[in-house]
Every structure is written in structure tokens, then in C-alpha cells.
Amino acid sequence: MIKVVIVEDDFRIAQVQEQFLQKITGVKLVGKALNAKEAMELLEANEVDLLLLDIYLPDKLGTDLLAKIRESYPDVDIIMVTAATERAMLEKTARYGVFNYLLKPVTMKKFVETIEDYKRRKELLSKTNEIDQTMIDRFFGITNQSTILQKDLPTGVDRHTLKKIKDVVEELKGVSIDEMSETMGVSRTTARRYLEFLVSENVCIAKHEYGIVGRPQRKYYLIE
């Protein structure tokens, strides 16, 4: 379970972010702070994995907190969620190793996609004690789609079928498990196995599409 703190002086925006987080499995909101002082108090009182940090806070700039956070809580990851469009702000946050930088207003789709990407990287790191270049490329989102069809494949993944699955994703510009199952004439289980394998190899990305009613649908897109 990824423990999250929201640092946002506008309680309405903080509430929206909380609602977005509720749509993502495996995350838990442990607190919300309206200013820098409350943010540091929450970090001191709780075990926190991820900080969603605004820049323009009433008592201090969020960027001015970065050095103190890195010194006192080096294991806390940070995603900036801000209206700050100055290049200097982005450059400063990058030097402190923030995971991502989201500009307000943030759509639910972009927010969820960013948190899911964060979860994917955390999971990738948790599965290994030693790294190689392939793992590093996957962690940083670097992939060569041509190599996926040349490497040794796990049991249950056929090279010819994998290529056809990948081609369908590319042709349809995004596909759900049901759509892949119907297009390929395979079971939903098989479609899911191949699509999730492409996600694990950083060839595809999975996103939740939210309609007006009903549960979100997981769709797969080729990473360009």
C-alpha cells in the first residue's frame, strides 16, 4: 500500500485529488496539509511514500521545502502538482529528483496515469536487488519495441501471437481486453496475458478510461 500526503492550500483542489486517489488501487491517503508547516508535521508523524506537493503555499514555496525533505526524509518520493509554469521552478525540482511535475488544472486521466506509472516503477524496484540495463530502461520508460520480438519469451507467450497482438493495439490506437479478445478470437484470459506482458516490457501502457456511468475500463496503448 502506497501512503500518500497531499499538500495543497486550496481545500477544493485537495478534495479533488483525494477523489482521484480513491479511483486507484493500492494507494492510501494518510493526510492533507494546507501549508508547508502542516506538511512537515505530517511527514514527522506518519510513514509516507509519496508527497503530492504544491509550489505556491501560503507560508513557504514548495520548492523551498525540497532540501529539507531530502535531508530529513530521503525515502519520500515527490510529485509536484502546481500552476507554476516558470522554467526555473521545473529545473529546481528536477535537481531534487522529483518523480513528476503536473500542471494545474490536472485532468483525472493524467493524474491517474501518473500515479499508476509511479506504482509501476515502485513495483519494478521491489522485485529485484540487482539491476541490468534492460531493467533500467524499463524503470525510466525507455523501450525499443523491435527488441521485444527478438528476446526469449516466457512460457505461455507465443512470438507470432505477440506480434499480432501488438499490431492490433497499434492499428486500433488503443484496445480493451474484450476488444482484443473479439478481434483475435482468443479468450479474455489470453488477451489479458499478452497485453499485460506488453505493459511489463514497457511496449504498452494501460490506462483506465472513465465513462459517464459504470466501472472504469482498462485500455492498452502502444508507447510511442
Looking at the fold, whether 157 and 95 belong to one and the same domain comes out as: no
Residue 190's domain comprises: 129-222
Give the pLDDT mean for 198-209: 84
Looking at the fold, whether 134 and 107 belong to one and the same domain comes out as: no
Looking at the fold, whether 62 and 117 belong to one and the same domain comes out as: yes
Structure confidence at residue 8 (pLDDT): 97
- Cβ contacts of 201 within 8 Å, gap of 6 or more: 138, 143, 148
Looking at the fold, whether 113 and 133 belong to one and the same domain comes out as: no
Residue with more model confidence, 191 or 154? 191
Give the pLDDT mean for 111-138: 79
Looking at the fold, whether 14 and 82 belong to one and the same domain comes out as: yes
Residue with more model confidence, 184 or 122? 184
Tell which of 65, 94, 122 closes a domain.
122
Number of domains present in the structure of the chain:
2
CA-wise closest residue to 36 among 77, 76, 78, 7: 7
Looking at the fold, whether 36 and 109 belong to one and the same domain comes out as: yes
- Cβ contacts of 51 within 8 Å, gap of 6 or more: 4, 5, 7, 39, 43, 69, 76, 77, 78, 79
Q: Please check the confidence at residue 67 and state whether its pLDDT lies above 70.
A: yes
- Interatomic CA distance for residues 167 and 157, integer angstroms: 15
Residue with more model confidence, 142 or 64? 64
- Interatomic CA distance for residues 220 and 184, integer angstroms: 15
Looking at the fold, whether 67 and 117 belong to one and the same domain comes out as: yes
CA angle 46, 11, 38 (to 5 degrees): 35
Looking at the fold, whether 76 and 160 belong to one and the same domain comes out as: no
- Interatomic CA distance for residues 205 and 195, integer angstroms: 9
Confidence of residue 202 (pLDDT cuts 50, 70, 90): confident
Helices (H) and strands (E) in the chain, counts: 9, 8
For residue 51, the domain's CATH number is: 3.40.50.2300
Tell which of 76, 106, 122 closes a domain.
122
Looking at the fold, whether 143 and 111 belong to one and the same domain comes out as: no
**Cβ atoms within 10 Å of 132's Cβ, excluding its own:** 8
pLDDT tens digits, 143-174: 555 555 555 677 888 888 998 999 999 899 88
- Cβ contacts of 16 within 8 Å, gap of 6 or more: none
Confidence of residue 130 (pLDDT cuts 50, 70, 90): confident
Tell which of 122, 150, 173 closes a domain.
122
Give the pLDDT mean for 118-125: 83
Q: Please check the confidence at residue 13 and state whether its pLDDT lies above 80.
A: yes
- Cβ contacts of 23 within 8 Å, gap of 6 or more: 108, 112, 208, 210, 216
Give the pLDDT mean for 49-65: 96
